[in-house]
Amino acid sequence: MGRAAQQAAEPAPPLPAVVLAYLEHVRVEKRLAARTLTLYTLDLQKLLGFALAAQVELLALQVPHIRRFAAQMHSGGRSPRGIALILSGWRGFFVWAARQGLVPMNPVDGVRAPRAPKPLPKA
């Protein structure tokens, strides 16, 4: 099952105004493709879902929260590459939020996706 199909099966929390403002920013100013915008929306819905489950405001998330969310995705079977893409989307949101003065620092900075296993050498 693809990334979008997995996320579409989960109930999506309503997006707060700050997330809608970011999505409008990337749509208008960065002129991202519609598919990329859809994936960013799904990734931010996932982040919001994690934040709600942890009972933490979206803009109050810290590095330990993001690390825990990445670990949950990994233990849930998401690929390291998929986690890296999601973290990249989250990182972009928090970079924008920091530029807007909404957060003092980016909680996704320094958080890396798990490493993909290296294939064994061929004999």
Written as tens digits, the pLDDT of the chain (123 aa) is: 455 444 445 566 678 889 999 998 988 888 888 888 899 999 999 999 999 888 999 899 999 999 999 999 988 988 888 999 999 999 999 999 999 999 998 888 888 877 877 788 887
Q: Which pLDDT belongs to residue 87?
A: 92
The CA distance from 29 to 27, in Å, is: 6
Rg of the chain taking only CA atoms, in angstroms = 15
- pLDDT for position 7: 46
Q: What is the pTM of this model?
A: 0.79
Amino acid 93: pLDDT: 92
**Per-residue model confidence (pLDDT) at position 122:** 83
